[in-house]
Amino acid sequence: MSRLRASSSSALALAVAGLALATPSPAAPQDARTHLIIIAGIGGEPRYVQAFYEMGARLADVAVSRWGIRPEDVTLLAEQPAMDAQRIDGRSTKEAIDAAIRGVSSRAGPADQVFVTLIGHGSYQGSEGRFSLPGPDLTGAELSVMLLQLGGRRVIVANTSSASGDFVKPLAAPNRIVITATKSGMERNEARFGRWFIEAFVGESADADKDGAVSLLEAFDFARTEVARAYEQEKKLLTEHAVLDDNGDGQGSPDPGADKVDGRLASATFLGKGAALAGGPPPGASPELRALYAQKQEIEKQIAALRAARDTMDTGRYEQQLEKLLVDLALKNQEIRRLERGR
């Protein structure tokens, strides 16, 4: 984005910077369902078995309680189902993962999206990355074959394990978001990314544009930032570099954005009712508030159209128009927030 006018306040500048990440892209219909498959891999020792299960259960809980995903659309697989037979749907083997994906494929609508999250250990063996499971481990190529069952539905895969970067290339496809905790299979130290990625959907801090929803891009940025902060505080060398690919080229970006090579699809993808929260007024909104939301959505459409025409425009003209629209959008959001807070 080009320079803001000298008269812009610092608060407005920050709002505009955040909005650059929130500008809409091809979003799924707001009535589409999210099907969540959480896979907690093999721990190797009791503390990891417990930690991986708890991370998965936490994501499952918040998906239902906060983001409105239906309980029947959440599948949780773990190493030891007996730990919590009421919540764990099966052992996290390759066969169970394939069956879970096949089950979603049979009941999901064509506009539904599927979110597969891998929590656990990873390794790099025989020139390919692997996710550690009870029994044979899972490779990116094997998971890619399983995902063919989902057809053209939007699919999000977040592999939060170490050595997960090797999953990007085999999993890349149109209408798919692939997130990995590392940039390659050679980053083999224990990864912390998963903890913060899940926290992004649990807490409030990841909602950078304060629209009440957390996009996949916001969750990625939040987790990446918190991981770097933790390493810096401990004065340790950063040994994990998360990447995101959502344009299908198999090349993960460490710094994606709504107007960058990667990040456009992720900026418009949410869990459950997150899409509705990000797109329109809250239930029972006043006519004045609904009008402001309509004006906001019109500005967002203009920004999307401008970005689509970027390659056909003079750079200076493009940046000037984009700057004006982003400032207009930031001001409109400020009006909306003031009215929502009764100011």
pLDDT tens for 207-228 read 887 777 899 999 999 999 999 9
- Could you tell me if 270 and 215 are in contact, meaning their C-beta atoms sit under 8 angstroms apart? yes
Residues 99 and 212 in one domain: yes
Calpha distance 322→23 (Å, rounded): 11
pTM score = 0.78
Residue with tokens 């906001």: 296
| Domain assignment of residue 20, yes or no | no
Backbone angle region of 53, left / alpha / beta, with phi > 0 → left and psi within -120 to 50 → alpha: alpha
According to DSSP, residue 235 is labeled T
* CA dist., res. 296 & res. 288, Å (int): 13
**Tens-digit pLDDT profile for residues 120-136:** 999 998 889 999 999 99
d(CA 5, CA 8): 6
231 and 315 inside one domain: no
Asked whether residue 9 is assigned to any structural domain, the reply reads no
pLDDT in tens, 28-44: 555 679 999 999 999 99
Looking at the domain assignment, is residue 25 inside a domain?
no
Q: How far apart are CA 307 and CA 109, in angstroms?
A: 30
- In angstroms, the CA 72 to CA 225 distance is 33
Residue 14 is assigned to a structural domain of this protein = no
- Listed ranges 73-77, 264-268, 300-304, 308-312; the one with the highest mean pLDDT: 73-77
Is residue 284 domain-shared with residue 256, that is, in the same domain? Answer: no
- Supply the pLDDT for residue 13: 44
Task: List the structure tokens of 14.
Answer: 């920050």
CATH code at position 165: 3.40.50.1460
Quick one: average pLDDT of 89-97? Answer: 98
Q: How far, in Å, CA of 126 to CA of 182, rounded? A: 18
Q: Is residue 149 part of a domain?
A: yes
**Is position 12 within any domain?**
no
